[in-house]
Amino acid sequence: MKRREFLLGSLASVVYVACGSDETPLGSDPASPDAPGIKEPGAPTVDAARLLTPTSAPEASDAFFPQGLASGDPRPDRVLLWTRIDPKGADKASTDSIDVGFVIAEDEALTQIIGQGTLQAKADDDHTVRVVPTGLKAGRFYYYRFESGGTTTRVARTKTAPDATADARIKFAFCSCQDYVGRYWHSWKALLDEKADLDFVLWLGDYIYESVNDPRFQSSTPDRTIEIPDGMDTSPAQDGTRMAAATLEDYRALYKAYRSEPLLREVHRLYPFILTWDDHEFADDCWQDHSTSFNELDPFTKGFTDEKNTPRRQAANRAFFEYQPADITYEEKSFPNDITIYRKLGYGKNVDIFMTDQRLYRANHLIPEGPVDLAVGKPSKNSSIGSRYFVRKSVFDPREAKAKPTLLGAPQKAWFLDAVKKSSATWKVWGNEVQMWQMALRLSDLPSVPPLFSYTAYVNCDQWDGYRSERAEILDTLAKAGVENLVVCTGDIHAFFASELHVDFDNPNPRPVGVEFVTAGISSASLPALVDKQVPSGSALRFIADYFIAGADAALGASNPHLRYADTDAYGFALVDVDASRVEVTFVKLGDPREKTSAGVVSRKKLVTKRGKNTIEAG
């Protein structure tokens, strides 16, 4: 068995270990998003027969490895394994490199070892390590752990993807939005209690929140707070009431805090993750290297600001790469070429998964936050209301059609369309961060609505409604190419939805192009709670917020005939069961995450899409 090693730029090393053979499979084209990088030969041989250290007690393990261990991006022949060692817990200096051993076996007792070796956890990588065992068998469980200085992690479990020809039944959970501050992760406890036979967890963004005390959606309890070493004040008054991550050490501190939480640590120990990011891994409603915290009003000069902050964006990118078990590329290059996270993964003959990046390449929101624009329903300066939220549809649509802003960027869009069209899998599953179905609200249905506001509004133009021309282009291209069985899995909006998808939602064809299932957040404030805090009490549009909060499900159903299910005041996750004939999705709803004690599962809603139908039925 030979070990092969390469560097991603000047940063975190990824070690490839060939298990049970003398050669490391080269895999696919290293220039493709499907491949993690170039495998370089020549690394030293490792001794597969090395005597193992006994597995340590949990307390000792947690001191050395406080973020536990994780796996991700399973392929039929390989999977990425991750851990981080705390130099303080290991009685080392923060600048030291630390040797970390690893072992992977076919049994939980680690008696049937197929690969092992030693890595270096370097200070420059915040002492995180990644190893990719290759030459594994398809569609089976493997067990692994890490060790340093006689102390080990717990033994973890992972699972490879089935072979491309396997008629496999695939089960997974999809989840998003796990705010930690002032909130408890009852959803993760419920998922663990399911003891579900999952192939993987599909994570759709907002793994961390860059803010640590934002009163618009975060509360505070003594045991659910996070301190960041540097931080930036994103409050308009610069009074410290909205502190957020600004530096690499800040983003690292957030990941360390989130990943130390016992429930999340256990989910990672048991299941491989396939994940992408959304906005909060950098900044709320971000685009490229721009945040939107100040709505174009510089808090110091009181003049215009576009909030461009490339070093902050690059810090967020680097921390994401260091702390997530994702087989992606990172290089110390100029933005945005430092990281690429869009990629495809195959799961047998029935499922191909397409993970996209909807933040790094997107155009700015079409309607500026700065000036008043009554035509689109924007009555106030320097506000997201009327710019990103509750935007007048009849005025926005022609402006958007003329500008044609992009959400994916041309290279990623071309890759995505080509990959989906070439897929021979029964089901094409899109790991999609922001909601795709048209989410309009007919304000004229509101009681006693002022004539000025008797129009239809988009609830949220930070999602695909703000980039509707590109949405139509993508869906139209796939429809004309004869792509069948498109299933879009989405997070971001903190609600459960199920909708059928159309090229033109205003003039839909009888047969939808695909379906979309949207999961509620693990713990982040529900959609009505967000609307309540986002629209100030003195706003001219406050009556819309009050109406929406009182009856969002019914209001959205009346305004959107393509919507098949809505539960907006929700927390939880979705379970998916896929075979050659159908996709079955179960929304698992939990109670208020601000309560320290969980009341358990509140409800379940099962929905089904049958092969060749592109429709949603009750399960």
| The pLDDT of residue 567 | 97
Which CATH architecture does the domain made up of 170-618 adopt?
4-Layer Sandwich (3.60)
Q: Is the pLDDT of residue 20 over 90?
A: no
How do residues 270-329 score in pLDDT, each as one tens digit? 999 999 999 999 999 999 999 999 999 999 999 999 999 999 999 999 999 999 999 998
SS3 per-residue string spanning 20-38:
CCCCCCCCCCCCCCCCCCC
Question: Is the distance from CB of 535 to CB of 541 less than 8 angstroms?
Answer: yes
Q: Which tokens belong to 615?
A: 């429709």
Helix axes 262-270, 248-259, angle to 10 degrees: 80
Q: Distance between CA atoms of 27 and 484, rounded to whole angstroms?
A: 28
How do residues 60-116 score in pLDDT, each as one tens digit? 999 999 999 999 999 999 999 999 999 999 999 999 999 999 999 999 999 999 999
| The pLDDT of residue 80 | 98
Q: Distance between CA atoms of 561 and 557, rounded to whole angstroms?
A: 7
Return the DSSP state at 290: B
Instruction: Dihedral sign for Cα 605, 609, 610, 613, please.
Output: positive
Q: Is the pLDDT of residue 157 over 70?
A: yes
Question: Is the distance from CB of 366 to CB of 466 less than 8 angstroms?
Answer: yes
| The pLDDT of residue 14 | 77
Q: Where are the domains of the chain?
A: 3-159, 170-618
Phi, psi (deg, nearest 5) at residue 104: -130, 135
Phi, psi (deg, nearest 5) at residue 24: -85, 120
Question: Is the distance from CB of 146 to CB of 129 less than 8 angstroms?
Answer: yes
Closest alpha carbon to 361 in 318, 315, 416: 416
Reported confidence tier of residue 336, pLDDT bands at 50, 70, 90: very high
Percent of the chain exceeding pLDDT 70 equals 93
Instruction: Share the mean pLDDT of the chain.
Output: 92
How do residues 185-197 score in pLDDT, each as one tens digit? 999 999 999 999 9
- 375: alpha, beta or left, given left = phi > 0 and alpha = psi -120 to 50? alpha
Concatenate the DSSP letters of all residues of 77-109 into one string. S--EEEEE--TTTTT--TT--EEEEEEEESSTT
How do residues 111-152 score in pLDDT, each as one tens digit? 999 999 999 999 999 999 999 999 999 999 999 999 999 999
Average pLDDT of the segment spanning 541-563 = 90
Average pLDDT of the segment spanning 407-432 = 98
| The pLDDT of residue 452 | 80
Reported pTM? 0.93
Average pLDDT of the segment spanning 334-350 = 96
| Cross-strand partners of 105 | 113, 143
Q: Distance between CA atoms of 207 and 268, rounded to whole angstroms?
A: 13
| Cross-strand partners of 144 | 104, 156
Q: Distance between CA atoms of 492 and 175, rounded to whole angstroms?
A: 9
Reported confidence tier of residue 1, pLDDT bands at 50, 70, 90: very low
How do residues 378-414 score in pLDDT, each as one tens digit? 999 999 999 999 999 999 999 999 999 999 999 999 9
Reported confidence tier of residue 532, pLDDT bands at 50, 70, 90: confident
Helix (H, G, I), strand (E, B) or coil at 319: helix
How do residues 233-245 score in pLDDT, each as one tens digit? 999 999 999 999 9
Least confident of 205-209, 429-433, 474-478, 523-527: 523-527
| The pLDDT of residue 544 | 82
Q: Which tokens belong to 503?
A: 């090229």
Instruction: Dihedral sign for Cα 383, 388, 389, 393, please.
Output: positive
Fold designation for 3-159: Immunoglobulin-like (2.60.40)
Q: Distance between CA atoms of 617 and 171, rounded to whole angstroms?
A: 19
Helix (H, G, I), strand (E, B) or coil at 132: strand
Cβ neighbour number for residue 392 with a 10 Å cutoff: 21
Closest alpha carbon to 563 in 462, 446, 436: 436
